[in-house]
Structure formats: C-alpha cells, structure tokens
Structure 1
Amino acid sequence: MKLRINGDDIEISADVRNVADLLKHFQLQEKVVIVEHNREILEKSTHQLVSLTDGDQIEIVHFVGGG
C-alpha cells in the first residue's frame, strides 16, 4: 500500500491496516503523537478504528524533549 506520510510517498506493508498498526510500524505506539488522516486530526481512541487505504495522506507529529 502506498501512503503519503509527512509529505513523502512511502510503500507500507499490507499487514499495516489501521493507524495503530502504522504507529507500531514506526515504533511510535508508546510516544505522544498527533495523527492527521486525510486532513482530519484523530483522537487517540480512534487509531485502531481508522482503516488505511492506498493513497491516504497521513501527518504524524511527535514531541521531542530536550534543552
């Protein structure tokens, strides 16, 4: 499946079926993230419910600490 993630076209394995799977794929499931799916910001509680299809646009923002 081909997704546009943070502006880049990326080929993702077919076993990534929803947003929660995508976050696991990028090892972000334990991080505080904001996910936008086709220009709609998602609540964390919906990550497992939102299915991904070829051509979807995803924006993932995660926070990095430092000083």
Structure 2
Amino acid sequence: MNMTVNGRDVELPDHVTTVRDLLDHFKLNKELAIVELNQSILDKSIRDDAALSDGDRIEIVQFVGGG
C-alpha cells in the first residue's frame, strides 16, 4: 500500500491495514502519538482501529520530553 506519511511517500507492507498497525510498523508510542488521517485528527477512542487505504495522507505527531 502506498501513502504519504509526514510528507514522505512510503510503501507499506500488506499487513499494515489500520492506524495501530502503522504506529507499530514505525515503532511509535501509541499513547503519545496524535494522528491526522486525510486532514482529520483522529480521536484516540477510534484512532487505533481506523482503516487505511492506498493513497491516504497521514501526519503523525509524537510528544517527547526534554529540557
């Protein structure tokens, strides 16, 4: 499946079919990630099970601590 993630065109394996799969694929902390799918920010209550389609545009923001 081909999509744009954070402005980069990427090809993802066939097993990546939901946002949860996508976050796991990129080894991102699901608790700290905010996901926008096709210009709509996904509420955390539905985010993980949101289905992905070829050509989707995804933006992922992850908060990190520091000082």
Superposition misfits of 4+ residues, deviation over 4 angstroms: none
Inter-partner Cα distance in structure 1 for 2:60 and 2:30 = 14
User: Given residue 17 of structure 1, which amino acid in structure 2 is its aligned partner?
Assistant: T
Deviations 1:11-54 (A, max 9, x none): 00010010011001111144401100000000112123311011
> TM-score scaled to structure 2, two decimals?
0.91
Gaps of 5+ in 1: none
Task: Summarize the alignment of residues 11-22 of structure 1 with structure 2, pairs less than 5 Å apart.
Answer: 11-22=11-22
Per the alignment, residue 3 of structure 2 pairs with 3
TM-score normalised by L of structure 1: 0.91
Cα RMSD after superposing both structures:
1.2
Distance 1:63 1:12, change over 3 A: same
Identity of aligned residues (%): 51
